[in-house]
Amino acid sequence: LPSIVLEPRYNADSDHSNPDLSRNVYPITRPEDFFDLLQDRLHTVVENLLFQGDHRFTIILNALNRREYKKINRKEDVDLIYAGINKQRELLQSWGGIKPVLEESWTMLSETMLDSKRAIVGAGLYNKFQAGEYGLKDIAISSLKSYFKISPQNGDEAILNSWLCEKTILDAYFDLENDLYVSIPLIGFGDIDGIAHIVFKKKWEDQVRNKQNLWAVLRNFTMEYDGKFLDWAVVGDNMEKTSSIKEFLDLVQKDDFYEKKNKNPLLKELDLLSYYRRHDAYYRLRFKLSDGVPGKIYQLYIVHSIVSILVDSYAHNVSAHSLTTLAWWFRQRAKRFREPDVDWEQVFDLLERDELNSATIEQLREILAMYNPNSHKDSVGEEGSHLRKEDGDKMISYPGHLSREIYPMFQFLMEKGAYWSGITRNMNVGGMVSSLYNILWHDFMQNPLYIGTIAKTEDIQHVRLRIVVYEPTTISMSAPSDPEQPVRKRIVHDGILAEVDLLRPQAEGVGEEDNSDEPRSVFVREGENLKSLKKPLKNIRIFLPGGVVGKHALFTMLENEIRNVKHYNRRELESLREQGLTLSIGVQPCSLPASGQQELYRLSIWIDAPSRLLTDDTAEHVVLKKWKSLEGELFDSGIAPKLGGTYQDKVCAAMLFNNSFSSVQNGFDSIHRPTDRDTERDRLYYPWALPACSLADEQGARVEQHEDFEFIRDKGRLPPLMQDDKITENPNRNAVLRNLIKGFPKEGFLKKIFHVWKGQNLLNAAEVSNLEDENPARFRIVHLPLETTDFEEQFVALRRKCGVIRIINDGKFSSNDVDIDSGEKDMSELRLFRDACIHWLAIWIGKPVCVLKFLKDSNSHRMFVLDNSTNGQPKFYDFSANDFLLPDKKAFLASYDQIATESPIENILEVAHKGDAYGLPEADVMWYRRHGVYKKYFLEEIKGENEEKKQLLKDLRALEFFETLLTRICIFDNRIYHRIRSEKDRGRDDFFRHRLKLVVKNEATDDDRINPEWLKSWEQERTDFIPTCHFLVIHLSFIERILQKKHKKEGDVGLFIQKEIVSAMPNGKVPDNFMLVITTGRGRNDWWKYLEKDPYKDYARFTIFRPVESLITAVERSVSIHDDVELKFRLVKILFGS
């Protein structure tokens, strides 16, 4: 026990030819209580085994000092204390009475430190034990008379005083002429920790001389001593420290245990090796139970720290900087505008451009003047007309409405709420795969009110986003590297993606990348290199764990970097105010160690303005300061969280790599946390966000490569963070660190580097040794063959822990036969993925034959067919309008066309652009917009690829469109219902249900006394749409309402599934293509525990969680533009995760 047991750290590579290794003696909490309890237990052993219940004896216990840390050598003398004095005194007094005259002697003994070399009895005896020169035969009985016959003559006053105290105490209870004593070693976990002197009456001499009796006493002493240490692991501060007993138990399994541990023949005579091996399961269970306590306490500290650190991010970035600025600006704006936000001169200017209205313009002016004489004048007052541009003049005085700016800000704050819920929940099942283009252009940079005010304190309101895409690297994090040598990264793409400029609004927010339905803010501009960056960034698809949670973990790191501008000096800030701040993001494909599959992206973030990294030779380099902060704990010695952007980056980087915030300290070696579950990858990538820097000359003219000084890839070169006591910092470490970075530039760019996972298509579980290491949530489909070991356990883990829905278990999808160096690799993977998609859809749709036909202007336009009616491979067909006209194709598809016409409401869709479909019944038509996903993705012409690849990509989009439209979704959530209600109120309820296959219902949680039919819609759908739906999305509060009213239970989600869902399914069995999606906007995860109960464990196969905010966003964006395809597509992507 690193805090409470003697044990050296065993190193398999150490030289064990000499077993007398040094030992670390750790302090323990409340040592007096520990030894008092040990004294009591040892006393009981002797009483029962030697003296048949006679308790008239005593044990003088000399043990290693446990009040403070000390390193000792097994060959040298050690300091011993009188241990368990209080209990020894109490036991003596229980049969010999209280002796007030002994008070001074007891006190003196309790304060005495013995030297094992000079102690009378201990002299030589302890060393003989340690040196392996003392066996059972050498344990002898001695008389008190001989011990007290001659006083110590070695001149040691402490020894003399202790001898006198012993004599005084024992004389009060024993016959010094006739009574005896025996000294035996105190052994714990294979080490000798002291001496127990048993003082007893003369009549028990024969019992003690019996070696079998002594053998039993020694064995029982060892068991009691071991057990007391295991008990003490959960006492006081020890609960925060972890045990190293597991290392000892591992050593026990080695054949050379005695050589490595202690050569003392006594250990062999006691047969301790066999004892520990026989009872290995007991000790490991005790270890697990005791070790789990400090682990749980440590984890509570971590969770508390994470919440504090990330809430501080909001308080600092969002509230203290952005919201305070915006609150002031909009207050001034509210005072400045006396009339509604309408620029009448602009209105008339627009009207005058229309010749058809020219005759009525003057009449309109007269009428307007009659009713409101001031309405067509400048609505801006005189207040604030002398504002500096840096004080928000353009924003305050902007004459138009600001809804295009305010909406993204509200959206951002709503998603931040989901992000904080994810932090407190710490259970972010699954995630979302999105292109870096969508993440940065459509989400991050389209929020000008926030991006433009993060650095307002420094008067910076112009922010550019620069993207640098590097050539893939073949060097993994495990490759040894010299920190003094820069890592060279060749640039493939480099340029400005976008700009937010609150100082210079455009005339109108339009551009090549804008959709007419979603006009862009006038404060956002396309970057000069947006067009050339668009395609490569669309091809960079990253996995965001927890969806919106992972997205805002990434955004938090970007926001922090913008805020880092505060560290620049006055001259540098003046330049940034004038020219604007450029936030740079570097992206480099890379691989896990020994992989070569490029499953990761290495992201680097920095402000594109050089700064001083080392002020003078005596100062500490900024990179080293960052590293020291990152590599340690998240809290200080007083358990207070360490706040600031550095720690926020560390937490968020851990989340992005490990799918969990609480994994942030994985890989950190500390006595306060259990490390047995840490993987080699944890130790390699910890602390997740790595500091780096580069030379200042990479700025300006575009260079061909960047050279980053990274700290530090090869952490094996570093001395341990802590000394052997695991408490004191290693003084040599700082010198080594300084030496490692002596070649780092004194001026340049400060960067932070972290890793995100690549979103990929297909994972074949049969081809990986450890499924969890691949982060399966980032794959669209996982192939888990039925013959997989622990198939059911793996399946449930994929669903519950990873949130993977698309799991197939048949077919062959191996890429092992493909030459990974050939140009066939990409094509082969696309073919495999297409075949996997067809297999998946056959499972998901669940019908022998499924047909979906599209009409355009009431004519056959396209038809999808999934045919799984034979025992062979399922077939997918995509028939075009021309196929309906060609005789040979027409005959082939006739039977499928017949299936469509037999149930037109389910199988036939009229597709039209809303502005072009005059006369078509609104309730029967699937609307799309010209700039939406239907035209820009599903029907987009694929360019720049060979014919085979074009066809493969076209097939994959057709399969995705097929899945989108045929996935049946039922949602019970008030917020989503209210967003979509206007569409349904226009008579489109049947269209949504039958053609779009989407049912959205109100939770209707009114009190049943007011609304006795509040459950009517639920009861109707559970027997109508739900048994055939693929996704049942239901808000947690609605589940709890039903449980309370119908089943008189609180929160038992398992019971709800059993009584309300399983019972409604055909034959009472949930089909393989059904998923229950529970949503909540709170950070709750207590409902998961109900699915761990035996009756409900199977329900984990089809139950997942999704944040409701993501679903709301998907609905809002689609409904606001009246695009049915977009609505269904976004919902399906959120529910599947990709």
For the chain, list residues with pLDDT below 50: 1-20, 123, 239-240, 371, 373-384, 514, 516, 701
Q: State whether 951 and 999 are in the same domain.
A: no
Q: State whether 469 and 366 are in the same domain.
A: no
Which phi-psi region, left, alpha or beta, contains residue 377 (left: φ > 0; alpha: ψ -120 to 50)?
A: beta
Strand partners, 588: 602
Sequence-distant (6+) residues with CB within 8 A of 15 are none
| Residue 1048, CA distances (Å) to 90, 688, 1003, 1041, 1094 in order | 57, 47, 18, 10, 21
- Residue 848 CA to residue 1071 CA, distance in Å, equals 15
CB 721 within 8 A of CB 734: no
Q: State whether 41 and 146 are in the same domain.
A: yes
Residue 613 within any structural domain of the chain: yes
Three-state secondary structure call for residue 497: strand
Q: Which string of DSSP letters, residue by residue, matches 723-766?
A: -TTSSSBPHHHHHHHHHHTTTS-SEEEEEEEEEEEBPEEEEEGG
Q: Specify the amino acid at residue 237.
A: D
Tell me the longest C-alpha to C-alpha distance in the chain.
134
Q: Specify the amino acid at residue 880.
A: S
CB 116 within 8 A of CB 123: yes
Backbone φ and ψ for 941, nearest 5 degrees, come out as: -70, 130
Domain end position, chosen among 315, 350, 374: 374
Q: Closest Cα to residue 380, out of 318, 425, 335, 419?
A: 335
| Three-state SS letters, 846-860 | CCCEEEEEEEECCEE
Residue 817 within any structural domain of the chain: no
pLDDT at 542: 96
Backbone φ and ψ for 73, nearest 5 degrees, come out as: -115, 130
> How many C-alpha atoms does 457 have within 13 Å on its Cβ side?
17
Domain end position, chosen among 758, 786, 818: 758
Six-digit token string for 287: 């270890």
pLDDT at 9: 29
How many residues appear in the chain? 1138
Q: State whether 60 and 200 are in the same domain.
A: yes
Q: How many CB atoms neighbour CB 729 within 10 A?
A: 12
- Residue 563 CA to residue 559 CA, distance in Å, equals 6
CB 520 within 8 A of CB 510: yes
Q: State whether 453 and 520 are in the same domain.
A: yes
Residue 389 within any structural domain of the chain: no
Six-digit token string for 273: 């090796």
What's the CATH code of the domain at 981? 3.40.50
pLDDT at 377: 46
Residue 936 within any structural domain of the chain: yes
Q: State whether 573 and 719 are in the same domain.
A: yes
| Three-state SS letters, 886-936 | CHHHHHHHHHHHHHHHHCHHHHEEEEEECCCCCCCCHHHEEEECCCCHHHH
- Residue 828 CA to residue 815 CA, distance in Å, equals 7
- Residue 932 CA to residue 1121 CA, distance in Å, equals 9
Q: Closest Cα to residue 8, out of 665, 724, 1017?
A: 724
pLDDT at 365: 62
pLDDT at 346: 59
Q: Report pTM.
A: 0.77
Strands 79-83 and 875-880 turn out to be unpaired
Q: Closest Cα to residue 609, out of 647, 642, 562?
A: 562
Residue 85 within any structural domain of the chain: yes
pLDDT at 345: 61
| Residue 161, CA distances (Å) to 77, 86, 151 in order | 20, 19, 10
Q: Specify the amino acid at residue 850.
A: C
pLDDT at 382: 45
Q: State whether 942 and 978 are in the same domain.
A: no
Q: Which domain holds residue 679?
A: 415-758
Q: State whether 503 and 553 are in the same domain.
A: yes
Q: Which string of DSSP letters, residue by residue, matches 87-142?
A: HHHHHHHHHH---GGGHHHHHHHHT-EEETTTSTTTTTHHHHHHHT---GGG--EE
Six-digit token string for 639: 């358990």
CB 652 within 8 A of CB 557: yes
Q: State whether 134 and 186 are in the same domain.
A: yes
Residue 809 within any structural domain of the chain: no
Alpha-carbon dihedral sign for residues 906, 909, 915, 920? negative
Residue 1046 within any structural domain of the chain: yes
Q: Which string of DSSP letters, residue by residue, matches 369-402?
A: HHH-TTTTS--B-STTTT--GGGTHHHHS--S--
CB 712 within 8 A of CB 740: yes
| Residue 398, CA distances (Å) to 253, 330, 382, 475, 667 in order | 77, 11, 14, 51, 52
**Cis peptide upstream of residue 712 (ω within 30 degrees of 0):** yes
For the stretch 1078-1113, pLDDT in tens is 887 665 677 778 888 888 888 888 988 887 777 888
- Residue 914 CA to residue 928 CA, distance in Å, equals 7
| Residue 778, CA distances (Å) to 422, 433, 656, 812 in order | 18, 7, 12, 21
CB 753 within 8 A of CB 617: no
- Residue 546 CA to residue 1110 CA, distance in Å, equals 10
| Total domains present in the chain | 5
Strands 779-783 and 760-764 turn out to be parallel
CB 1050 within 8 A of CB 990: no
Residue 676 within any structural domain of the chain: yes
Domain end position, chosen among 920, 937, 964: 964
Strand partners, 607: 583
| Helix residue ranges, H only, 540-644 | 548-563, 570-579, 622-631
Q: State whether 252 and 344 are in the same domain.
A: no
Q: State whether 600 and 659 are in the same domain.
A: yes
pLDDT at 14: 35
Q: Which residue has the tokens 């779009």?
A: 996
Q: State whether 579 and 591 are in the same domain.
A: yes
